[in-house]
Amino acid sequence: MEKGDVPGSGPGQAPLSYPAHTLPYEVVLKELSTRLDEGLTPDEAARRLQTYGPNKLDEGEGVSVVKILVRQVANAMMLVLILAMAVSFGIQSWIEGGVICAVIVLNIVVGFFQEYAAEKTMESLHSLSSPTGTVSRGGQTFSVPSAEIVPGDMVELRTGDTVPADIRLVEAVNFETDEALLTGESLPVQKDCDATFKEDTGPGDRLNLAYSSSTVTRGRARGVVIATGMATEIGSIAAALRAGDSRRRPVKKGPNGETKKRWYVQAWTLTGTDAVGRFLGVNVGTPLQRKLSKLAILLFGVAVLFAIIVMASNKFASSNEVILYAVGTGLSMIPACLVVVLTITMAVGTKRMVERHVIVRKLDSLEALGAVTDICSDKTGTLTQGKMVVKKAWIPAKGTYSVGTNNEPFNPTVGEVTFTPVPPVRFDEEEGSEIVDLEETATNDPRLEEFLNVAAMANLSHVYRSDEGEWHARGEPTEIAIQVFAARFNWNRDRWTKGESPVWHQKAEFPFDSTVKKMSVVFTRFDGETERNMVFTKGAVERILDACTTVIWEDASTPTALTDDHRATILQNMEELAKLGLRVLALAHKPYTEANRLLEGADLQRDEIERDLCFLGLIGLYDPPRPETAGAIRACAQAGIAVHMVTGDHPGTAKAIAQQVGILPADLGSVAADVADAMVMTAGQFDKLSDSEVDALPTLPLVIARCAPQTKVRMIDALHRRGKFAAMTGDGVNDSPSLKHADVGIAMGQAGSDVAKDASDIILTDDNFASILNAIEEGRRIFDNIQKFVLHLLSENIAQACTLLIGLAFKDLDGQSVFPLAPVEILWIIMITSGMPDMGLGMEIAAPDIMDRPPQTKQGIFTWEVIVDILVYGVWTAALCLASFSLVVWGFGDGDLARGCNREYSAECDLVFRARATTFVCLTWFALFLAWEMVDMRRSFFRMQPGSKKYLTQWMYDIWRNQFLFWSIVAGFVTTFPILYIPVLNHVVFKHTGISWEWGIVFVEAVLFFLGVELWKFAKRVYFRRVAGRKVDHGVQG
C-alpha cells in the first residue's frame, strides 16, 4: 500500500498517513482505531465490512448465465440435433423440423436450469470450504470466514495457517512465511515485527508485513489487518493477471528471440484445437465428463456413418423420405440428455455429502471415492476423540501420579489424583496409592514443582473458567490436557505469567516442529532482586532423551549424569505406559546462563537451546477412540477396504489403539511371525527398507508409528505399486505432499490447516473417521447410479439404431425403405421416455449391500459387464421391436407397405402406421420397464433387497422407494395414449395411428421383454457366483 494510495479509503483498503511498513505498529494501531488486546468491537467490524467490502479476490461473475447457456449448445449431441433440424427444414419437412426445434429448446431450457442449480450448489459448497481466520473482537478470540475479516482486525497466525489479508505484525515468535506465490522466493521468510523500512522497500523485503495468501511455515504471530481483497499485494497481482489473461498459445521463439512462420501456424493451430476442445467439452470438466464428451463425439461419427448407410441402401436417392430416414437413424444414436443427467447426479451427490459431514472440493474425487481400496488415517482426532486427558505422570525422583476418569476434560477440579511411589514398570508391585492434596503437594515438593513448571510454561494453551462457571480451553488437545494437569495443582500458566506481578516472563519460544518433535520456551523468573533464566522443553521421549545429559533420579536432590542404564529404564517405563494406550511425552529443563544474550535480543539458535537438558519425567495422555470408529473399521473390512494408521505416536500407543478399534488383530500371536512384524513398524524401520524390500513384505504395515511426512508419501507409493487406490488423511502443513500424492486427499475441517485443506480433494467437517466411510459409500452410490443411467440410455440407443438399420430391409412398392420408427418418435423416446427416468436413476439411494462389495475397478463405468449388458439389452429390445412391426405387417396383415408411408397418412398406409405405432409403444414400454430393472444390475426386479423373500410384494416397496423414478415411469406410460389417439398429433407429427387388437402384441412382448431381462440377470448371478466360488477355492488351495 503506497502513500499515494492511502488517502480516502477504498474497497479493502484502510487510510494510513504512510505505508504500513514504514510505521511502528503502535502508530498503525492508532491510525486504524483498533486496540492491541481487544481488537475491534463486533459492531465496528460489521460497519467496516460494509465500508470496505468482503475480503476476497474478484473471481469474475461467479456462476455465468451466458456460459451455462453456451454449454447447452456446445456439445456434440446438440450439434446432431441442430444438424437434423437444418436438414428437416431444408427438405421442407416442417413438422419434423419444428418438433426437433422444440426438442432442442426443451433440452436447452431443462439443461440450463438444472446446470444453473448445480452450479449454485457447487458455489455454496465452495463457500463452506472457504478458509477462516482467527480474530480478536471485543476481547474475545474466535474464528471467522476470511471473507469477513476487515482492516483493523487483530489476527492470530500459527503454523499451517494461510494469511487471510495483508497484515502489519505486532508480535512474532520464530515466525516465518512462505511467500513463493507472491515474490517467487523459494525459502521461507523470517519476520521482524519491530522493524520499520523505507517507503521504496520492495514487498519481499518488508519483514514487518505478512501477505495475504502466503502460508505460515513456522512459529506464531499477531497482527493488524491493513488491506483486504483486491487491495492486497496478491490482489494487485491477480488484477494484472486477469487483465492479461489469454487462452492463446504462445508463439515459440528461438534462443535470440526470433520466430518462424511455421511456429505462428503451430500456435494458431493449437489455439484453435484448444478452443474446439473447450467448446465440445473434451478438455474441461472431470475425467468422467471428458470421457462422456469424447463418447458423444464418437456417437456423432457413428450417427453420420449410419445416415450414410441409410442413403446408400436407398441408392442415395434424394427424396425427402430417404433423407428423413437418414436423419432418424442418426438421431437414434444420440443420448441427448446424458450430460444433463450426469450434472444433476453429481450436484445431488455433493449436496448429500454435506449432510454427511463431507465437503467436496474437487468433483474428480466423486469418481475416485468408489474405487478406494486403502485408507491411511491419522490417529489423533480422526480415529480418536481428540480430547486428550492426562492419565499418568511419572517423576523418577518421586513416583507416579494417576488421574481418575471424569467426563469433563477441561475441568481441573474434578477427578481424583492419586500417588504411587513406584515407577510404571513396577505397577504390579504396587504398594498402595494415596489421594493427593494437590496445591499443598506442589508448593512443598521441589521435584514436582520443576515438573509442573515445564508442563505449564512449555505450553501455549489456555484453560479458564467462564463467568457462568463452565470450564473452557483454547489450544492444541495435547497441550490442553497437560495444562489441565498442571491446573489441578493450581500451577497453570496464567497464574505465573499474567496479572499485576507476574513471576515468570517469556523471552523466547521454539514451537513444536514435526521434524524435531520438541517444543521449548525460555523464561526469566524474578525472585526479589535476582533473576533466573530457564529453558523448558517437552516432546517425544526419544528426542528429549537425545537432548538430555542429566537426570534427577530417585532420591537424589541434584542432577546426576544420565547414563545408559537410566535411558534403558526410562524407555522401559515409556513402553509400560504405551501398552496402556497412552501417548507418552517427556519433560525436561535446564538453567540458561547466557542471560546477556536475552538482554541483547540476540537470535537464539534452537540447537543451542535444546541441548544439555535435565530429564524430569514422563507424562502419559489418553485419547479415547471415538465410539463409532470400531464399527466404521469393521464396515471398511466388509467393503474390502484396508485401514492403515499412520501416526506420530509411540509404537506401543499406536498398537494398543489399533487393537482397540480393530485395525490390528487383538491377538497378534495368532498371526504368522513375519506378517505380525510387517503389520506394525516405526517410520525409521519402514524408511530404511528399499522399494524392493517394501514390495517383498508379506503385507504392508497396518500401523506406522513415529510417522514423518515423507513416510506417508512412501506408503502411498508402496500401495500404488501393489495396484491399490489410496485415500490419505492429513491436517498439518507437512501433510500436503501426501494429500496431493494420494488418489483422494482428505483434510480435517476443524483441526486442519489451510494448507492441508487447499491440498485436499474432500474435507471432513467433523474430523471423524466414520465420515470417510460415508464419503466412500456416497461415492459408490454415485458411481453405481451413473452406470445405471448410462447403461439404460445406451441400451435404448442400440435398440433404436438396430431397429432402424435392419428396418432398411422393409421396402415399399417404390423400393424405398419404410422406417419402423419415425424421427419424432425417436426424439420422444430419447428426450422424454428415457430422460426423466434416467434422472430418477441418478437419484437412486444406495443399495443395502453397497458396502459389502469390493471397491470398483479402475476400468471406470464402462466395465465389460456394462458393455455386454448394453449390447444384450439393446439387441433384445430391437429384436422384439422388429418382431412387433413384422407381426402387424406380415403376421396379421397382408404385407403391403404401399407408397409414401414415410411422408403422410393415407388409407393405403394404415397398416404401416399401425405397425409403427405398435413398435413405438413396445419400445416406450421396454424403455420404462428397463429403467425399473436398472435399479439393480444383477438382482431380480421381484427381489432387489438382499435377504428379501417376499417375491409377490417386495417389488411394490422397491418401485415406490424412489418416487421421482416412479412418477417419471408412470408419466411415460400415461403420455403414450394421447400421442396415439389425438388426431393430427398422431398422423401428422408422430407418423402413426391409434391401435386396437395390436395391444395384445404389446402385452405379450412386454412379458417376453421382462422375462428376457430377468433370464439374463439370472444367468449373470449364476456366472458371478461361480467366479466368486473359484476365487475362494483358489484362495483355500493357496
> What CATH number should be reported for the domain holding residue 50?
2.70.150.10
Q: How far apart are CA 343 and CA 330, in angstroms?
A: 25
Position 134 in a domain: no
Residue 518 β-bridge partners: 513, 539
Q: CB atoms < 10 A from the CB of 502, how many?
A: 14
Read off the CATH number of the domain in which 487 is found.
3.40.1110.10
Number of Cβ atoms within 10 Å of the Cβ of 443: 13
Q: Assess if residue 133 is contained within a domain.
A: no
Q: Measured in whole angstroms, how far is the alpha carbon of residue 276 from the centre of its chain?
A: 30
Residues 856 and 730 in one domain: no
Among all chains, which residue has been given the C-alpha cell 489441578? Answer: 488
How far separated are the first and last CA of the chain, in Å rounded? 71
Report the run of H or E that residue 390 belongs to, with start and end. Answer: strand 389-395
What CA–CA distance (Å, rounded) separates 741 from 755?
A: 14
272 lies in some domain: no
Distances (CA, A) of 349 to 130, 722, 867: 20, 30, 25
Residues 738 and 761 in one domain: yes
The reply to whether 665 and 743 lie within a common domain is yes
In angstroms, the CA 577 to CA 424 distance is 7
Q: Do 474 and 436 reside in the same domain of the chain?
A: yes
Q: State how far the Cα of 926 lies from the Cα of 1010, in Å rounded to an integer.
A: 8
Count Cβ atoms below 10 Å from residue 439 Cβ, excluding itself. 12
377-395 CB burial, b ≥16 within 10 A, e <16:
bbbbbbbbbbebbbbbbbb
Q: How far is CA 614 from CA 574, 590, 591, in A?
A: 17, 6, 9
764 SS3 class: strand
Element (H, E) at 624: none
Into how many domains does the chain fold? 4
The identity of residue 454, as a single letter, is V
Burial class (CB in 10 A: 0-12, 13-18, 19+), 9: middle
Contacts of 804 (CB under 8 A, 6+ apart): 306, 310, 325, 328, 329, 332, 819, 820, 821
Asked if residue 543 and residue 465 are part of one domain, the reply reads yes
Domain with 680, as residue range(s), is 359-383+626-767
- Phi and psi at residue 132, in whole multiples of 5°? -125, 165
Instruction: Identify the pLDDT of residue 16.
Output: 86
Q: Is residue 419 part of a domain?
A: yes
Query: Do the bridges between strand 726-730 and strand 744-748 make them parallel or antiparallel, or are there none, so unpaired?
Result: parallel
Of 559, 592, 622, which marks where a domain is finished?
Answer: 622
Listed residues 243, 258, 292: the one ending a domain: 243
Cα four-point dihedral sign 568, 574, 578, 584: negative
Rounding to the nearest 10 degrees, give the CA dihedral for residues 103, 108, 111, 117: -140
**Residue 203 corresponds to which amino acid?**
P
- What CATH number does residue 685 fall under? 3.40.50.1000
Question: How far is it, in rounded angstroms, from Cα 95 to Cα 118?
Answer: 34
Look at residues 1002, 384, 867, 253 and name the one whose alpha carbon lies nearest to residue 657. Answer: 384
Q: What is the rounded CA–CA span in Å between residue 788 and residue 844? A: 10
User: In b/e form, how buried is each residue of 530-561, taking b as 16+ CB within 10 angstroms?
Assistant: eeebbbbbbbbbbbbbebbebbbbeeeeebee
**320, part of any domain:** no
Within a 10 A sphere around the Cβ of 70, how many other Cβ atoms?
11
- Return d(Cα 899, Cα 817) in angstroms, integer: 10
Residue 831 sits in the same domain as residue 910: yes
Cα 205 to the chain's mean position, in Å?
37
* Cα 42 off chain centre by: 33
Q: State CA 336 to chain mean position distance.
A: 30
Q: What is the mean pLDDT of each run of 10 residues along the chain (1038 residues)?
A: 40 80 92 88 91 78 69 69 76 72 75 67 56 83 87 88 90 82 67 88 86 83 91 75 52 61 69 67 63 75 81 74 75 72 78 84 77 87 82 90 83 87 76 66 80 93 81 82 92 84 85 81 81 91 94 83 93 90 92 69 76 94 86 91 88 87 86 88 90 92 86 91 89 76 85 73 84 88 88 90 87 83 82 82 83 76 88 95 93 86 85 93 94 88 72 75 89 91 88 91 94 94 83 50
> Tell me, what's the pLDDT at 2?
40
One domain, residues 602 and 733: no
Say if residue 786 is in the same domain as residue 706: no
Residue 262 lies in a domain: no
Residue whose entry in the numeric block shows the C-alpha cell 524430569:
616
Mark whether 598 and 735 lie in a shared domain.
no
Q: Are residues 569 and 644 in the same domain?
A: no
136: three-class secondary structure by DSSP: strand
- The catalytic position among 166, 374, 378, 761 is 378
CATH number at residue 850: 1.20.1110.10
Same domain, 639 and 595: no
Q: Is 283 part of a structural domain of the chain? A: no
- Comparing C-alpha atoms, which of 721, 723, 726 is closest to residue 740? 726
pLDDT value of residue 757: 76
User: Is 323 within the bounds of a domain?
Assistant: no
Helices 338-355/94-128 angle, 10° precision: 20
**pLDDT value for 1:** 38
Could you tell me if 635 and 524 lie in one domain?
A: no
Final residue of a domain: which of 710, 733, 767?
767
pLDDT score, position 920: 94
Please indicate, yes or no, whether the overall pTM of this predicted structure exceeds 0.75.
no
| 378 annotated active-site | yes
